[in-house]
Structure 1
Amino acid sequence: MSDAIAGRGRWQARLPPAGVARPFAIASISFALAVPGVGAVPDTPVTGVAVFGSYLNPAAAGRQAQVIGERLGVTLAVAETVVETGAVFHRVVSETLPEREARQLLALAAERGQDGWFAVSGAPPADSVATEAPSSTFPDPPRPTAVDTPSPPTPGADPASPPTPAAQVADTTDAIADTPGPTAETALGVAKDDTGGAPHLARVDLTGSLSAETRRFFRGAGHTGQGSQPNSLVVKPQLYLEHRAGWSFTLSPFYRFDNEDSRRTHADVHEAYALFLGVVGDAQWELRVGVDRVFWGVVESNNLVDIVNQVDLVEHPDEKSKLGQFMGHFTYAAPWGVVELLGMPHHRQRTFPGRSGRLRFPWLVDADLATYESGAEERHVDVAARYSHTVGAFDFGISAFEGTSREPFLIPTFSPGRDLALAPHYPQIRQVGLDGQLTAGAWLLKLEAVHRTGMLNRLGREEPYSSLVLGAEYTFYSVFGLAPDITVLTEWCYDERGIRSTTKFENDAFLAARLAFNDVQGTELLVSTLQGTDHDSRVFTLELNRRLSDRWSMAVEAIALRELDPTDILYETRRDSFVEVGIVYSF
């Protein structure tokens, strides 16, 4: 079984994981290379297949087998299944595997946003027929969106029946329009009832993770009050409820306790939304109402177009960790592309470290002093839209945003206690963005570009500007004839404001190399650097990830800040190189 890496460009095979290139952040490194999986092995090994969706239309199943197979780096097949009602379904399945390996594949899929379930060999009806997924007879699918992405992820889950992904309603040409549901099978009411007799629920799932982390800074504090060895406990449960009428509700709270920084001890709701979906002709629609997180983008170092959610800076200084955002999110997926429309009636402030926290400015950011350009303040209604499509090997998206900036301008002022502080000011901005990815064999060519108006530059003056990230990625498969793959990637980050830029990506080169061992433990090694092209500032990261068992994994995160230039926005964090060790239990 291959454990190739897939990342934010989720339709392409063997891309880096979502947090692979965190040039300023904490790179995840798992520990104990020599530690084997510790799951118990039964006396009589059970075999079966990992199932990744059920469809009425065989063409839809074939397309999804290609897409999901590329996302996971494995070969998937289509199995024809006749259920008790006589309906014929087409399931996307893996090869027959020992239960342990199949569940590890499902855990890997869940990490990459793809739901599934385990089916024991011999469980399907006797007349089920497996056929290989077509390799080139179907057109390339559109980019994954809310409609494409199953819900919820179930790392470590042990379901006895399908968890009914969010929008796999067969192909739109043959779907059951009058009974829309998360999957074709549940639309016909053939899914098992595992709710313990709840009269209106078709499914209830509780998953999540618990983790313990410790971080060590090797140099003394650069600012008054900072600590040097914070320890944290993190709880991330997820509750998924599916109604028999076809709609569902997902709740994903988050809580971190930090023994040093009171601001890093925080709670959030990452997801709390109701999902409604259906079919119109040859298209699918989906509506999410509530709190959610949305990702846009394809590059690794700096996702310029990803503007919907606010940054949770106390969680990760890489600006990739996001807070939940209340929104209405409508998605319409048709053969000609995918359209997303979003309305956000409440703005959330960015989080910043407290006095005891590291990786911060000399003065604290005081959220109580926040100001807004809009008279409606945080109640201003922000709007966003995106169109995405795939043409051959080219995958692209065009987006727009108008509303309150997620990035504040920090104004030196005095707090009520007469201490010097930084007051965040949130202006009204407009942004148009373009993201694209071209797949050419082992090559991936990537682009993100935005034009933004309304932002204040480092001097506090309003300045329209454009910014872009250009990147390329190449994978060497089966190096030296062995299982591991090596991926080399490089990106150029440019902001036309130059030294007036308010970000760390003024004119920088990002270089990285990733080694995927392709073993059942999912061992991965990454080294990367972010290098300034017009100064000597450098940021080095190293990652090594490994699962210890079906439930347990271990991670060590490390970052080194070297020779930071006094003009670099990171200069005040020059003493904050660190290593972090964490262990995670998934349930």
Structure 2
Amino acid sequence: MKKLILTASALLAGAGTSPLVSALDWSLEAGIEGRRFLESGAYSGQVDDQWSLTLQPEVVWDAESGNGRFTFVPFYRKDFADNERTHGDIREAMFMTWNGPWELRAGIGKVFWGVTESLHLVDVINQTDYVEAIDGDQKLGQPMIQGIWLSDVGTWEAFVLPGFRERTFPGEAGRYRTELLVSDDAEYQADEEQQHVDLAARWSYVSELNGYPLDLTASVFRGTSRDPLLVPQVEVVNSVLTPTELVPYYAMQNQIGSTIQFAPEGWLLKAELLYRDYQIDTLPGVIEVKDQTAAVGGFEYTLVGPFGDAADLGLLAEYQYDSRGADYSDAQNDLFLGTRYVFNDMASSEILAGITQDLDYTGTRLFLLEANTRLNPSMTIDATITLVTAEEESLASIFRRDDTFEVALNFFF
């Protein structure tokens, strides 16, 4: 946390002197979350129940000049079962200023590039906060300087990313973990390790095709991979070579990505395309590092008021492909089918249910149901059910006993 604050201060100092502050706004989100795992853990030490508390304040200063803003969003979770899930982070500490078609942002922030529902391939700027959720949607704050230019031929963005965030992993008592615990001592291909400066750029364009909205993006990234390779460490125990832990290895990569969204009447067609070129072929005697070509694409079709009420029913289908195969990815040849029911009520109630079926290992599938509603103007409730069925040969088998029912109450002040 201290290192992040110092990084943010340095970036803000480099952005120039901020304008005088004339407006201050703040809010606080607090939550209590309970997880009940429906089976005993697959590995020694795992708990069956997890309770935790979260705090996420947000403070916003607006400049007197009208063209500057600073946003500060820290986050903290206290987990009463897994010490590794107890953690704090600066989700955002970002100064923004703009002038005509130009915008400059400096500090710590979050950037989201995905468009599909089941998988976000091209989303590469921020590191995954894995102890928060296994779907990859929760991210750690990333130190960055971001320049944005709005033009007639699209929006152009350039990123300088000074400082790397390591992925979070559960501890011995936690669930959704590997049999061997993941070490806190990561290794890097870059000589600068966490201090390596990554670079990224993105172009986005909004147009029309036959009178319907068409959104296109293309992006490039060069730097340290956000996805670590987990390398087993071996020691001699009773004259036998025995794996003792997994060490995260962060290789260097080049990445090209693209997204497409097209919204003809009632439909939303979307896809993410990715090519990732790792700058290393093997980790000596351990792991072959394969370059990656991947895609996810499909549609969402919305039925308006299908039952004669104000609700909307969305039907979703997406296909996932990864050239590296089942030994490297659990989204190598999978089909996602789902439905989204939006009540369109004052409580903003919504239910999303979906199943991801592995087409190589037909006995492997993931079922997910998410529901949320507002109980009153300052309280919401979220419920999640996650069910995993997995063949022993598939990567998903490490979660085979992690079926979960989760409820979270969130309070807003």
| C-alpha deviation, 1:526, in angstroms | 1.9
How has the CA–CA distance of structure 1 residues 371 and 217 changed in structure 2, closer, same or farther, with 3 Å as cutoff? same
Match of 2:296 among 433, 451, 469: 469
What residue in structure 2 maps to residue 391 of structure 1?
Answer: 207
What residue in structure 1 maps to residue 131 of structure 2?
Answer: 314
Q: Distance in 1 between matches of 2:38 and 2:317?
A: 29
What residue in structure 1 maps to residue 377 of structure 2?
Answer: 550
Q: Distance in 1 between matches of 2:146 and 2:402?
A: 39
Does the 8 Å contact 2:326/2:395 carry over to 1? no
Q: Distance in 1 between matches of 2:41 and 2:309?
A: 45
Secondary structure of the corresponding residue to residue 429 of structure 1: strand
Indicate yes or no: 2:244 matched with 1:420.
yes
Q: Distance in 2 between matches of 1:421 and 1:506?
A: 26
Amino acid at match of 2:204: S
Q: Distance in 2 between matches of 1:565 and 1:480?
A: 39
Q: Distance in 2 between matches of 1:348 and 1:523?
A: 34
Indicate yes or no: 2:38 matched with 1:218.
yes
Secondary structure of the corresponding residue to residue 571 of structure 1: helix
Q: Distance in 2 between matches of 1:359 and 1:201?
A: 45
Indicate yes or no: 2:74 matched with 1:258.
no
Deviations 1:555-575 (A, max 9, x none): 11110112x022221211100
Q: Distance in 1 between matches of 2:307 and 2:60?
A: 44
Indicate yes or no: 2:227 matched with 1:403.
no
Does the 8 Å contact 2:200/2:222 carry over to 1? yes
Q: Distance in 2 between matches of 1:270 and 1:480?
A: 41
Q: Distance in 2 between matches of 1:566 and 1:457?
A: 26
Amino acid at match of 1:271: E
What residue in structure 2 maps to residue 374 of structure 1?
Answer: 190
Question: TM-score normalized by structure 1?
Answer: 0.63
Secondary structure of the corresponding residue to residue 357 of structure 1: coil
| C-alpha deviation, 1:457, in angstroms | 8.5
Secondary structure of the corresponding residue to residue 326 of structure 2: helix
Q: Distance in 2 between matches of 1:525 and 1:463?
A: 38
- Higher alpha-carbon deviation: 355-364 or 370-379: 370-379
Write out aligned runs for 1:433-512 (5 A): 433-454=257-278, 460-501=287-328, 503-512=329-338
What residue in structure 2 maps to residue 567 of structure 1?
Answer: 393
What residue in structure 1 maps to residue 91 of structure 2?
Answer: 270
Q: Distance in 2 between matches of 1:201 and 1:387?
A: 32
Q: Distance in 2 between matches of 1:520 and 1:550?
A: 10
Amino acid at match of 1:208: L
Secondary structure of the corresponding residue to residue 81 of structure 2: coil
What residue in structure 2 maps to residue 45 of structure 1?
Answer: none
Does the 8 Å contact 1:221/1:575 carry over to 2? yes
Match of 2:342 among 516, 541, 550: 516
Runs of 4+ in structure 1 deviating by more than 6 angstroms, as ranges, are: 455-459
Q: Distance in 2 between matches of 1:376 and 1:227?
A: 38
Amino acid at match of 2:110: R
| C-alpha deviation, 1:201, in angstroms | 2.3
Write out aligned runs for 1:102-121 (5 A): none
Secondary structure of the corresponding residue to residue 440 of structure 1: coil
Q: Unaligned 5+ residue runs, structure 1?
A: 1-180, 182-198
How many residues are matched?
Answer: 383
Q: Distance in 1 between matches of 2:71 and 2:381?
A: 27
Q: Which is greater in Rg?
A: 1
Match of 1:235 among 29, 39, 55: 55
Secondary structure of the corresponding residue to residue 572 of structure 1: helix
- Larger relative contact order (CA 8 Å, sep ≥ 6): 1
Deviations 1:423-460 (A, max 9, x none): 11111100001101011000111110001111769972
| C-alpha deviation, 1:359, in angstroms | 0.7
| C-alpha deviation, 1:244, in angstroms | 1.1
What residue in structure 1 maps to residue 28 of structure 2?
Answer: 208
Amino acid at match of 2:170: P
Does the 8 Å contact 1:409/1:456 carry over to 2? no
What RMSD in Å do the two structures reach over aligned CA positions? 2.0
Does the 8 Å contact 1:483/1:518 carry over to 2? yes
Secondary structure of the corresponding residue to residue 164 of structure 2: coil
What residue in structure 2 maps to residue 527 of structure 1?
Answer: 353
Write out aligned runs for 1:279-358 (5 A): 279=100, 284-358=101-175
Deviations 1:497-555 (A, max 9, x none): 11232x32111000101111111111212211010111120111112211011111111
Amino acid at match of 1:518: N
Q: Distance in 2 between matches of 1:414 and 1:586?
A: 48
Q: Distance in 2 between matches of 1:575 and 1:470?
A: 29
Q: Distance in 1 between matches of 2:85 and 2:282?
A: 28
Q: Distance in 2 between matches of 1:229 and 1:462?
A: 37
Q: Unaligned 5+ residue runs, structure 2?
A: 1-17
What residue in structure 2 maps to residue 128 of structure 1?
Answer: none
Write out aligned runs for 1:53-64 (5 A): none
Does the 8 Å contact 1:457/1:500 carry over to 2? no
Indicate yes or no: 2:396 matched with 1:576.
no
How has the CA–CA distance of structure 1 residues 508 and 320 changed in structure 2, closer, same or farther, with 3 Å as cutoff? same
Deviations 1:346-383 (A, max 9, x none): 11111100011011000110022x11111111111100
Amino acid at match of 2:257: G
Amino acid at match of 2:25: D
Does the 8 Å contact 2:232/2:243 carry over to 1? no
Does the 8 Å contact 2:164/2:194 carry over to 1? yes
Q: Distance in 2 between matches of 1:342 and 1:356?
A: 38
Q: Distance in 1 between matches of 2:93 and 2:254?
A: 27
Deviations 1:138-168 (A, max 9, x none): xxxxxxxxxxxxxxxxxxxxxxxxxxxxxxx
Secondary structure of the corresponding residue to residue 55 of structure 2: strand
